[in-house]
Amino acid sequence: SSSKLKKKATKTQEAKKILKKKFKVNTKIVFTEDGELVQQWPPVQKSSLAKVDEEDDVSGINLDKVKEILREEDKFDKEEYRKKIKEKHR
């Protein structure tokens, strides 16, 4: 009884281990033969506010800033969606 049974690690425990090691998971980057970037998942944020926000080292989340960034990102996403639909209808 002095030896304890090893518990099986749960998915959350494994995820926390991966987060501690700061691995980049669930990312996909596709390059051409020339080495140019074709596709990246998850997509990089395009708005100027997002770039400014990354530079600020303030702890916590500013909800007002995040809402503004998401609104700007929505504009880019809608534009890409329109292009995609136009190509589909051609």
Residue 64 lies in a domain: yes
Q: Which of 74, 76, 52, 75 lies closest to 62, judged by CA?
A: 52
Evaluate whether residue 5 is within a structural domain: no
How many whole angstroms separate alpha carbon 74 and alpha carbon 68? 10
In a domain, 3, yes or no: no
- Predicted local confidence at residue 42, as pLDDT: 61
Q: What is the pLDDT of residues 20-35, one digit of tens each?
A: 887 777 777 778 888 7
Q: Is 6 left (phi over 0), alpha (psi -120 to 50) or beta?
A: beta
Domain membership of residue 74 as a residue range: 11-89
Residue 51 lies in a domain: yes
Residue 86 confidence (pLDDT): 92
Give pLDDT, residue 69.
84
Please count the structural domains in the chain. Answer: 1
For 42-60, the pLDDT digits (tens) are 666 666 666 665 656 566 7
